[in-house]
Structure 1
């Protein structure tokens, strides 16, 4: 019989708490790693299956789409099923998808495997957030979130480097076969060591809410993904975005007027939660959009290989891994307001310096300022997320996690599309209607970095809306 952990008594980092944290961190790391693992492998997969880039991009975009659609559903799943049931099921689904993708004889089977992966992977992040907030007291929550930051910040940036090495020296299928043992190792740990956190609620299933959220968010994510081509005048962009906005509006109306709800929008009644979300939205638009610029500069302007560009990004990824737990500890000591401001200002310096790239910038210059940018990022992301969840009472944490994660993914998707569009338009204008050369691409990248800088400064200004004192204690939170 599996023992239940009463989160009221688990106010510190006990041995059981640390074990649960490690299990969740490994699963979340694997899930986030897979978001970017396919980027560098795309040319090899296209060659093997004789597909176009437009079709091939769905290896990444399709994963993000299903992952994003799953997130609103997690608020229901986390409350309806026990922690063990949900996490073991998510890991199993993810593992099955991984094996299907690795053994795929053709592209449709590969895409199917990726979609199944995403169904499991979409549960990891929100479930992790809920468990940590319930398992750790306010005084220890930042450190725990900082450790999880290893997965959230390190995995996506590590993916292209690992993928580049594996694809260059082995076969793209090893991207899946490398992940599979980690999944089943975590599955074994979870089976024996993971306990149930909180109480199971036998909620009714909101079928209409699932349909509306899936169609609405799915259409928005598809539209923003298609906008990465820069052609916002295409129906594949504005059509999907418009449809997504209308259906998402219907979803919000249905959720705020129906008795049976998929997501509780009462989370938006908490001011500090809203402030944290707004800061995070601006930050995600700047940072996710800006993250795609450096590989483009390395490969398109400088003519370097994908593997080389991955190596340049690697030190920043390692710094992220090392500083994530530190940022959590700093949050526990100093709170979100001052820490977030410092992180954003550091990130601003790194972003400005990358905006000064030229045709002859050294790899050392690129590496150093990318590291500075990542230092700023890691100081901000987990504290602002921890602050958002600490502003909510425990019974709303699952809904808050689903809301926060969904908005973050939409902001990241929109940010990538918007900044790539700005880069493309500026490059075209620099070419005066002629052929866009690497020097024209450089102008587009420079201008876009300065746009990202402006967005980061806006986020820095918004930090004044955060509470000055160290921690915000939500009403009805038994840790308060």
Structure 2
């Protein structure tokens, strides 16, 4: 039986000291670097196909391998963050990320580049749960919304900068410079962390259950890989079905094993987080939001380029105002959460997001670009109003010793729901476009409207869920299981 972590008996902090502030800022900088790296890859795929002389199917492995690794590693982070110190986990994550980035810079061909992406993804998967767990541990309950607003800046600004920066580099010095630019930033973050990172909270001696890792890898990995094959070539149908079947069966066995192990506090991913209704409701809301958001944000650039005829750089600039609005509004939304709670934010955010997704179902080849810019900015504000209170209220509902497991669940749900949203909307978009007479990979206005319709319908329950989630009145750190 594991030695219980002592964090559940440590009183919640009342003041955020200089050392704790430094830890948070180091984690924010590292998370920004990781997200920036990921958002530069989307527009680089066509260049990689040409420069590396690979097919489009092969090139997709640069994103599929990254997604698979994230889906496999994130569920394990709950254990890692309890077993090892904050400093050790941070240095390991940034070392992996920096090593992967260096391998990408030096990569002579496609195979090593895929390996580099896997190594990068391993570090990235650890970073966000580490940030969220540390934030919840050191930030006083009355200031968590404001601090979570800063996380929103990271989540929003990196995707705003990434595609534009990547487009400039691709047009001037080539795809390799996407990694050359990120590498020194990662190394600086690693060096700063090695110098100033301090340990937060206590650790436990829970044993590592190898069978849980295997089941988690096949469960979450199989589901994400199967979803990534939706809409692919006809020959991939067998892989799609087989991967999903293996994933569902392995996931069921993984969950069953965690229920057994958590009786002795030995679970790789402690499912007792779902005993807290506010956490469960927040996770359900996050699942729907991630499904709709990640799917829609994937389809919109395709619509802009294929139907409206803009190039990749122009598409990035059209999305830029919304990303900036989402980022800069984060701290203000956090202050509102700290003072007024969740309902005002979630209700208004859900109304805005749902309304815009339904407006997107009317887009066609004549829709003015300025109108799309306005709608995308409104959608981004709706998402900002939703993400900050969901992140904060969900984790704040848990005892402190479950923060790491709650962060792992949150990250896993985002990853799997996002992959499902992208897969469903791309499949619908492709099917309708073919019916409309499109040739090859061409996208029609009808195809994009069909995809947005999926997002709009899925988003409707958000309106009801917004009224059910509350801000925890008291810090749940010392709550019993």
TM-score, L = length of structure 2: 0.93
Residue range with higher mean Cα deviation, 162-171 or 396-405: 162-171
Q: Which 10-residue stretch deviates more, 224-233 or 28-37? A: 224-233
Conservation of the 8 A alpha-carbon contact between 2:75 and 2:216: yes
- Is residue 357 of structure 2 the alignment partner of residue 351 of structure 1? yes
Deviations 1:294-340 (A, max 9, x none): 11111111222111111111111111221122221221122122211
Match of 1:61 among 37, 51, 64: 64
Judged with a 3 Å threshold, the aligned counterparts in structure 2 of structure 1 residues 85 and 472 are, in CA distance, closer, same or farther, namely: same
Partner of 2:174: 171
- Work out whether residues 230 and 420 of structure 1, in 8 Å CA contact, stay in contact via their aligned partners in 2: no
8 Å contact 2:98–2:120 — kept in the other structure?
yes
Taking a change above 3 Å as real, the CA distance of residues 24 and 349 of structure 1, as seen in their structure-2 partners, is: same
Q: Does the CA contact (< 8 Å) of 1:316 and 1:370 recur in 2?
A: yes
Superposed, 1:316-395 pairs within 5 Å as: 316-395=322-401
Task: Indicate the residue corresponding to 1:471 in structure 2.
Answer: 472
Give the drift of 1:48.
1.5
Q: Does 1:413 align with 2:415?
A: no
Q: What's the counterpart of residue 430 of structure 2?
A: 424
Closer, same or farther: CA 230–441 of 1 in aligned 2, 3 Å? farther
Q: Equivalent residue for 1:201?
A: 204
Aligned to 1:396: 402
Counterpart of 1:245 in structure 2 is 248
State the 1:211 CA deviation. 0.9
Give 3-state SS (helix, strand or coil) of 2:367's partner: coil
8 A contact 1:126–1:398 mirrored in 2? yes
Q: Structure 1 residue 45 and structure 2 residue 22: aligned?
A: no
Structure 2 partner of 1:234? 237
1:161 equivalent in structure 2? 164
TM-superposed CA distance for 1:236, in Å, is 2.1
Mapped to 1, the partners of 2:31 and 2:435 lie a distance apart of 42
Alignment pair present for 1:78 and 2:81: yes
Residue 278 (1) aligns with residue 284 (2): yes
Counterpart Cα distance in 2 of 1:101 and 1:243: 31
The answer to whether the aligner puts 1:269 opposite 2:272 as a matched pair is no
Q: Is the Cα–Cα contact under 8 Å of residues 387 and 472 in structure 1 kept in the other structure?
A: no
Structure 1 pair 437–34 and aligned structure 2 pair: CA distance change class (3 A)? closer
Q: What corresponds to 1:109 in structure 2?
A: 112
Alpha-carbon distance in 2 for matches of 1:172, 1:10? 45
SS at match of 1:205: coil
Kept after mapping to 1: 8 A contact 2:12/2:475 = no
Q: Distance in 2 between matches of 1:183 and 1:263?
A: 29
Asked if 1:146 corresponds to 2:149, the answer is: yes
Q: Residue by residue, what CA displacement relative to the aligned partner does 1:44-69 show, whole Å, maximum 9, x if unpaired?
A: 11111111111101112211211221
CA separation of 1:147 and 1:247: change in aligned 2, threshold 3 A: same
Question: Unaligned 5+ residue runs, structure 2?
Answer: 1-6
> How far apart in 2 are the matches of 1:465 and 1:230?
42
For residues 334 and 454 of structure 1, the distance between their equivalents in structure 2, rounded to whole angstroms, comes to 29
Instruction: Return the offset for 1:352.
Output: 2.9
Cα separation, 2, equivalents of 1:309 and 1:476:
44
Q: Output the CA distance in 1 between the equivalents of 2:209 and 2:406.
A: 18
Alpha-carbon displacement from aligned partner over 1:168-214 (angstroms, at most 9, x marks no partner): 22211110011111111111221222111001222211111111101
Cα distance, 1:472 vs structure 2: 4.3
Partner Cα separation in structure 2 for residue 7 and residue 308 of structure 1: 51
User: For the aligned residues, what is the CA RMSD?
Assistant: 2.1
Query: Is the 8 Å Cα contact of residues 134 and 394 (structure 1) preserved in structure 2?
Result: yes
Distance 1:384 1:306, change over 3 A: same
Kept in 2: contact 1:289–1:419 (CA 8 A): yes
* Contact 1:389 1:397 (8 Å CA) reproduced: yes
Q: How many residues align?
A: 469
Answer yes or no: is the 8 Å Cα contact 1:213–1:251 preserved in 2: yes
Corresponding residue for residue 456 of structure 1 = 459
1:309 is matched with 315
* In 2, Cα distance between equivalents of 1:228 and 1:17: 46
> 1:347 deviation in Å?
1.6
* Paired residues of 2:11 and 2:477 also in contact (CA < 8 A): no
